[in-house]
């Protein structure tokens, strides 16, 4: 795992980067991954941006939002504002708006259906990506297990 933290940022930002764990080690057939799984996970590759408005709309009436008082969700959403995820065929690159983030290689672990992909990162953590229309969502890690939505960036 490669971390990029710029001067002046505290442990809070570093912790928030790990709260949304995009997962992440190259998919290799010799590790048990079939070419079919890799092909079926192709929708996930590309550049994505955090969709703050859509996420806020989804959480507005959410029971999870009520359960945590909305405060933690609001803090996480604020820290994710302007963040981006770039998923290549070898790694997931997660960047906060200020340019801080991490890159991690991944392995496609499971593709149970056409709209779900589970990636296994170098550190062994599993992250499941769920396609929903033109977006995907992932759950935050830790005590707050609520979805955060990302939309595909428009190409130039």
3-state secondary structure (DSSP) of residue 143: coil
Per residue in 108-144, pLDDT (tens digit) is: 999 999 999 999 999 999 999 999 999 999 988 766 6
DSSP assigned state of 20: S
76-112 pLDDT tens trace: 888 899 999 999 999 999 999 998 999 999 999 999 9
Q: What is the pLDDT of residue 12?
A: 30
pLDDT, position 128: 95
Residue 111 to residue 33: CA distance in whole angstroms = 10
Residue pair 134/115 in contact (Cβ under 8 Å)? The answer is no
Q: Which domains does the chain have, with CATH numbers?
A: 2-152 (2.40.128)
Tens-place pLDDT, residues 18-71: 444 444 333 333 344 455 555 578 999 999 999 999 998 888 766 655 555 567
pLDDT band at 72 (very low <50, low <70, confident <90, very high): confident
* Nearest C-alpha neighbor of 63 from the set 53, 73, 54: 73
Confidence at 2, pLDDT banded by 50, 70, 90: very low
Give the predicted TM-score (pTM) of the model: 0.73
| DSSP 8-class letter at 155 | P
Which letter does DSSP use for residue 90 in this model? S
Return the pLDDT at 11.
32
Report the pLDDT value the prediction gives residue 6, as an integer from 0 to 100.
Answer: 32
**Is it the case that residue 149 has pLDDT exceeding 90?**
yes
Q: Tell me, what's the pLDDT at 140?
A: 81
The torsion angle over the Cα atoms of residues 45, 47, 52 and 54, rounded to 10 degrees, is -50
More confident: 53 or 72 = 53
Give Cα separations from 31 to 26, 35, 108 (angstroms): 10, 11, 10
């Amino acid at each position: 795992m490669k971390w990029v933290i710029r001067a002046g940022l505290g442990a809070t930002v570093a912790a928030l980067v790990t709260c949304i764990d995009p997962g992440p080690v190259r998919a290799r057939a010799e590790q048990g991954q079939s070419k079919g799984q890799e092909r079926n996970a192709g929708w996930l590759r590309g550049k994505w941006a955090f969709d703050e408005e859509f996420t806020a709309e989804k959480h507005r009436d959410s029971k999870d939002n009520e359960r945590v008082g909305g405060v933690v969700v609001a803090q996480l959403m604020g820290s994710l504002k302007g963040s981006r995820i770039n998923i290549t065929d070898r790694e997931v690159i997660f960047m906060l708006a200020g340019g801080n983030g991490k890159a991690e290689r991944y392995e496609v672990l499971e593709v149970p259906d056409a709209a779900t992909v589970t990636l296994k990162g170098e550190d062994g953590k599993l992250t499941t990506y769920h396609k929903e229309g033109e977006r995907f969502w992932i759950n935050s890690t830790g005590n707050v297990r609520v979805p955060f939505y990302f939309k595909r960036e428009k190409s130039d």
